[in-house]
A and B are shown apart, each in its own frame.
Chain A
Amino acid sequence: MPLTDPVLCKRIPTKPWGDPKDRKLITYDEYVRTGGYQALERALDMDPKDIVEEVKAAQLRGRGGAGFPCGVKWSFLPEPDGGRRYLAINCDEAEPGTFKDRLLVDFDPHYVLEGIAIACYACQLDTAYFFIRGEYRHQAKTFERAIKEAYDNGIFGPQGLLRGKVDFAVECYQHRGAGAYICGEETGLLEAIEGKRGWPRIKPPFPAVKGLFGRPTIINNVETLAAVAPIIEKGAKWWNEIGCESSIGGPPSYGTKLMGVSGHVNSPGVFECELGIPLSKLVNDYCDGMRGGKKFKGAIAGGVSMGILGPDQFDAEMDFDIGKKYDVMGLGTACPTIFDEDTDMVAVARNIARFFKNESCGQCTPCREGAQWIYKLIGRIEQGNATSKDLDLLLELGQSMGAMPGTTICGLADGNNWAIRTIVNKYRDEFEARVKPYSVAVNATVGATG
């Protein structure tokens, strides 16, 4: 069912319901005046286990990229044993093309804080760390003020949630990153909170069992947590009416989703849509069409690591089936970057390869070395110094450094492989036009000598 009223953008003017120019920061008072913290009030009347069941029934899938069902993740936690338990909120939005969480943090931070409070109560977690990327300097200040407001009004703090309505206290802190893409990987994020370099950990043990400081930890995306409050307020059944069923027999894509469109469109920005909306509709109805009336050439599905949608895939439905149906890794963050017909796809590939080369954390050899090689190879192709054999070498390299299950601890190498492989496969003629035919000089004399 299409979305009739905004859910996550309830207080943030967004097309088609409002003008982005009217956006302003929603303070605590404004938030409460417009029905805020009602969902928390309601949640605290429920049994924590029932909240988890409700989120499970809503089939809320993670909005950070992997699409793992949130309620299922929450149910992996062991029973409380009296020790500390953590919630880590992932606001390390460093994937190129992705900027949807910024909207919530910029304008409606209490929506996120309400979700945090509900999640902490549902999973009985006593400390929440809001991990925000270092580049979000303005947003970090905004969110720090919002946390202070929440403390001042008794949402968090030693007296118990919501001014002591329940005898369960939650502390919420902000933790600033310092410019490393890898900290968006959940275990890399935990390492960064512990003060170490953000090297992802080998799983198992999974964070739900042994995470932050060796204690049970849940890691959720900002948008996922923001979606928890409306689900508790209106029920899982209502949530399941938005979005779409899977057309290929997979798990459904229910609910509303923030989609950030960038690149060659007339009005780029973040929009709230139901899952399953075709990309062409998103571009034409929400973004006022392609810039300069140019033709669509391709789009990054949702963050560069998801790969690229080809020229014939403009009508791809933006739901969790997209990976299987259109040969990309997945929906990712549902933030497409659109390219018009004038775009040089070899340059796009070079840019993406440079990103992965710069952001590989260096822990696993295939990724650290492979990302360098891929970047150099694409650079050679772009400058016209490569041969057709290099193109095959490029694909082979990608395949051997990351193909799920990959050769590395985390998925960064997989992302690199998917991005490069889908670009080369879908725009092979462009790459072939840039390479020289492969020939070998042999030192042999033909014909009779002497």
Chain B
Amino acid sequence: MAWIVKESAKMKIDRRPEPYLTDEMKARYEKDVLPRYETKMGAMMPILHDVQHAYNHIPYQAMEEIAAFLDLHPGDILDTVSFYEEFHTHPVGKYTIAVCQSIACEVCGHQAILDHLREKLDIEPHETTEDGKFTLLALECLGACDDAPCCLINDDRHNKLTIEGIDKVLDSLPD
């Protein structure tokens, strides 16, 4: 119905003059990523991982540029990005702390760890601290049930967590 205007239709995209997809990145994708897949769309996930790695999240402008690069519609990129929980459309903290909340971690006491982090960082899961240093996430199984309770801080997994242990790890992270 014409008088209903979807929120998304009014969405403003933050833009910057220089492109997110640099010529170096494009050349690298042409050489290393595109030949691996039969369709251009197949190259999307490796490219999204790379863009997120470079810019901490995947800005909407970057999605438009990826779409142009892969001959796709920007909606195709958003469709994939919004489906996977590891892709962020908005900035996240320098360190993302993903606490596993699945069954083995729950019965081994993940709640105490999560509550401690909420209190210490003064944020709820899926929020970022004001200084932009930490994002707290509560995720489903990280595949380390023998080391429960566990969490991922960026690329490193920390096992058999205790409150003292996680404090020590967090205090050792540089600003």
**Chain A interface (Cβ < 8 Å from any Cβ of B):** 84, 93-99, 102, 133-138, 141, 171, 173, 175-181, 192-198, 212-213, 215, 260-264, 268-270, 300, 304, 335, 337, 339, 343, 347-348, 351-352, 354-355, 358-359, 361
Contact B140 A194 (CB under 8 A): no
Contact B152 A137 (CB under 8 A): yes
Residues of B within 8 A of A135 (CB): 86, 98, 139, 142-143, 152
Whether A193 contacts B103 in the complex (CB less than 8 A), given A94-B141, A95-B141, A261-B146, comes out as no
Q: Verify if B83 is at the interface (C-beta below 8 Å from A).
A: yes
Residues of A within 8 A of B103 (CB): 96-97, 263, 300, 304, 337, 348, 351-352, 355
| Contact mask for chain B residues 84-117; partner A; CB cutoff 8 A; 1 contact, 0 none | 1111000000000010011110111000000000
Contact A262 B86 (CB under 8 A): no
B40 (CB) vs chain A CBs: closest residue? A195
**Chain B interface (Cβ < 8 Å from any Cβ of A):** 36-39, 41-46, 48-49, 79-80, 83-87, 98, 101-104, 106-108, 139-148, 152, 155-157
Whether A176 contacts B49 in the complex (CB less than 8 A), given A97-B141, A359-B140, comes out as yes
Contact B85 A179 (CB under 8 A): yes
Contact B102 A96 (CB under 8 A): yes
Can you identify 24 A-B contacts, CB atoms within 8 angstroms? Answer: A84-B38, A94-B141, A97-B102, A97-B103, A99-B146, A102-B144, A134-B86, A141-B155, A176-B45, A176-B49, A177-B84, A178-B45, A193-B37, A193-B45, A195-B45, A195-B80, A198-B83, A198-B84, A212-B38, A263-B103, A268-B145, A304-B103, A339-B107, A347-B106
- Rounded to whole angstroms, the CA-CA distance of A193 and B146 in the bound complex is 29
A136-B143, A178-B49, A194-B42 given; 19 more Cβ-contact pairs under 8 Å: A96-B103, A96-B140, A97-B141, A99-B143, A178-B84, A193-B45, A195-B39, A195-B44, A197-B79, A197-B84, A212-B38, A262-B148, A263-B148, A304-B102, A343-B107, A348-B106, A351-B102, A351-B106, A352-B103
Contact B140 A94 (CB under 8 A): yes
Contact A97 B87 (CB under 8 A): no
User: Max chain B CB contacts within 10 Å: which of A196, A335, A343?
Assistant: A196
Contact B145 A335 (CB under 8 A): yes
User: Max chain B CB contacts within 10 Å: which of A96, A134, A359?
Assistant: A96
- Rounded to whole angstroms, the CA-CA distance of A300 and B107 in the bound complex is 12
User: Max chain A CB contacts within 10 Å: which of B87, B148, B156?
Assistant: B148
Shortest Cβ distance from A141 into chain B, in angstroms? 8
A267 (CB) vs chain B CBs: closest residue? B146
- Rounded to whole angstroms, the CA-CA distance of A133 and B108 in the bound complex is 23
- Rounded to whole angstroms, the CA-CA distance of A259 and B152 in the bound complex is 23
Residues of B within 8 A of A179 (CB): 84-86, 139
Give the contacting residue for A96; candidates B87, B98, B141; CB below 8 A. B141
User: Max chain B CB contacts within 10 Å: which of A84, A97, A192, A195?
Assistant: A195
Contact B145 A196 (CB under 8 A): no
Contact A173 B143 (CB under 8 A): no
Residues of A within 8 A of B39 (CB): 194-195, 213
Contact A213 B42 (CB under 8 A): yes
Give the contacting residue for A178; candidates B37, B87, B106, B152; CB below 8 A. B87
Shortest Cβ distance from B156 into chain A, in angstroms? 7
Shortest Cβ distance from B2 into chain A, in angstroms? 28
Give the contacting residue for B36; candidates A173, A261, A304; CB below 8 A. A173
Contact B41 A94 (CB under 8 A): no
Residues of A within 8 A of B145 (CB): 96-99, 260, 262-263, 268, 335, 337
Give the contacting residue for A264; candidates B85, B107, B142; CB below 8 A. B107
Nearest 8 CB-CB pairings of A with B: A262-B145, A195-B44, A178-B84, A197-B83, A96-B102, A179-B86, A178-B86, A268-B146
- Rounded to whole angstroms, the CA-CA distance of A361 and B83 in the bound complex is 8
- Rounded to whole angstroms, the CA-CA distance of A102 and B84 in the bound complex is 21
Shortest Cβ distance from A361 into chain B, in angstroms? 8
Contact A337 B107 (CB under 8 A): yes
Contact A180 B107 (CB under 8 A): no
Residues of B within 8 A of A212 (CB): 38
- Rounded to whole angstroms, the CA-CA distance of A343 and B107 in the bound complex is 7
Shortest Cβ distance from A270 into chain B, in angstroms? 7
Shortest Cβ distance from B64 into chain A, in angstroms? 16
- Rounded to whole angstroms, the CA-CA distance of A171 and B38 in the bound complex is 13
Residues of B within 8 A of A215 (CB): 38
- Rounded to whole angstroms, the CA-CA distance of A354 and B38 in the bound complex is 37
B152 (CB) vs chain A CBs: closest residue? A135
- Rounded to whole angstroms, the CA-CA distance of A138 and B103 in the bound complex is 23
Residues of B within 8 A of A335 (CB): 145
Whether A260 contacts B84 in the complex (CB less than 8 A), given A194-B42, A195-B42, comes out as no
A171 (CB) vs chain B CBs: closest residue? B36
Shortest Cβ distance from B168 into chain A, in angstroms? 20
